[in-house]
Structure formats: structure tokens, C-alpha cells
Amino acid sequence: MLPGAELPLYIFEDRYKDLVRRSLKKKSEFGIIYTDGTSMRGVGCGARVVNMLRKYPDSRMEIIVRGTDRFIVQRTVTHPSGYLEARIAPLLDREETVDDATRSEVIDMYNKIVREVFGGTLHEVAPDTPDQYVSFRIAQKVGLSLHDRQKLLESSSEHERLLFLQRRLEELLPRLGEAATIQRLVKNDGYIPT
């Protein structure tokens, strides 16, 4: 989960049904923390329910949550319902100057992907966006692995996140051109129209 990202969740376990019910009743957030099945990371992201898609008679739910602020887990305890509760501290970015050229280049590369892959169904990022965490917005839609998303989530530097995305986008963009060529070949029985 990244700040600003929206994520659909299917809630079927009793412990999480209780967690979401409590969150909705109190109009509060809950946290999402990455776990690989053997260990839990120490940094997570708050989540707020923004849409209840469907509620079943047995209390299962299909919901949409939006990421809020990042946090550092200081201590966990198990709630009587079975989910973990944590004492947390905010994870804030350090004070720094973000290189405008890097920021602009990352936004330009991202917008090219939006045009080529999403064909107008996803909004481009305005070059002069005031969003101070534009890296998180871009990271949502460029096919990063869970490990890479977690790496960005844990970074306390917008500049470092942008440099990371710049490298990833530089690797990705040439492959988009190859995919578009293959798509044209398939549509035209093996011939590329000139």
C-alpha cells in the first residue's frame, strides 16, 4: 500500500471483518503492512475505506481503501479478535531539495507510459503538479514488484524515490516500444504498415 493508492480488498476472515467494522464505525484508519509469509516489515501505510462495494449477509465485504500516511511499527500486540494492533510513529521525509530536472524527466517518462499503455483512460501527471510525493503516485502504475514498492515506502527521500523510478522507467520504456510493435504485427497478420 502506497500513500494515495487505491486498493480493492475482499474481507472474509472474521478478524478482518471485525477490524473493518470497527474502522467504519469510528471513521478511523487501519494499517497495511507488507509480510512475505515469514516476517513482517517495520514500515506500513495507513488505509481508509473510501467505498463499500458489496456487503454480504455473513458480513464478508468488498471494499476499496486509499493509502494515507506512512508509519513505523514500534510494537505490536494481538487484538482479542485476532488481528495485530501496533503502536506506531509517523515516517516523515527528511528536509531536502528535490532536483527539478529529475522530477520533470520522471513525470515525462510516466506520462509517455500513460499515453502508450493506458490510452487516455488514466490521467497524466501535470508537469507543474504541486504534489510533493509525486513518486508514490507514479509508482502505483508502473508495474513495480511488491519488494520495490516496499523499498519506496520505506525511503524518507522524495529525491531518492524519483531517482529509483527514473532508473526503472528508463528500463521499461524501450520494452513498451517492442510491445507496441508486436501488437501491430498481430493486428496486421505479421506486417508492419508503413
Look at residue 24 and tell me whether its pLDDT is greater than 80: yes
My answer on whether 106 and 73 are in the same domain is no
My answer on whether 127 and 74 are in the same domain is no
Q: How many CB atoms lie within 10 A of CB 85?
A: 15
Spatial contact of 169 and 110, defined as CB atoms under 8 Å apart: yes
Look at residue 44 and tell me whether its pLDDT is greater than 80: yes
pLDDT at res. 192: 47
pLDDT tens, 162-194? 999 999 999 888 887 665 555 544 444 544 454
- Of 52, 71, 90, the one marking the end of a domain is 90
Closest CA to 33 of 93, 80, 76, 63: 76
My answer on whether 119 and 168 are in the same domain is yes
Residue 60 lies in domain: 6-90
My answer on whether 175 and 151 are in the same domain is yes
- The answer to pTM > 0.85 is no
My answer on whether 105 and 140 are in the same domain is yes
My answer on whether 128 and 156 are in the same domain is yes
Closest CA to 148 of 156, 157, 139: 139
pLDDT tens, 149-164? 999 999 999 999 999 9
Asked whether residue 192 is assigned to any structural domain, the reply reads no
Number of domains the chain contains: 2
pLDDT tens, 85-101? 999 999 999 999 888 99
CATH number of the domain to which 28 belongs: 2.30.130.40
My answer on whether 121 and 81 are in the same domain is no
Q: Is the dihedral of CA 125, 122, 169, 94 positive or negative?
A: positive
My answer on whether 129 and 171 are in the same domain is yes
What CA–CA distances, in Å, run from 73 to 31, 135, 156? 10, 22, 15
Residue bearing the bigger pLDDT, 140 or 50: 50
Asked whether residue 193 is assigned to any structural domain, the reply reads no
Asked whether residue 156 is assigned to any structural domain, the reply reads yes
Asked whether residue 182 is assigned to any structural domain, the reply reads yes
Residue 150, amino acid: Q
pLDDT at res. 181: 53
Percent of the chain with pLDDT over 90: 64
My answer on whether 20 and 76 are in the same domain is yes
What is the chain's mean pLDDT, rounded? 88
pLDDT at res. 190: 47
pLDDT at res. 178: 64
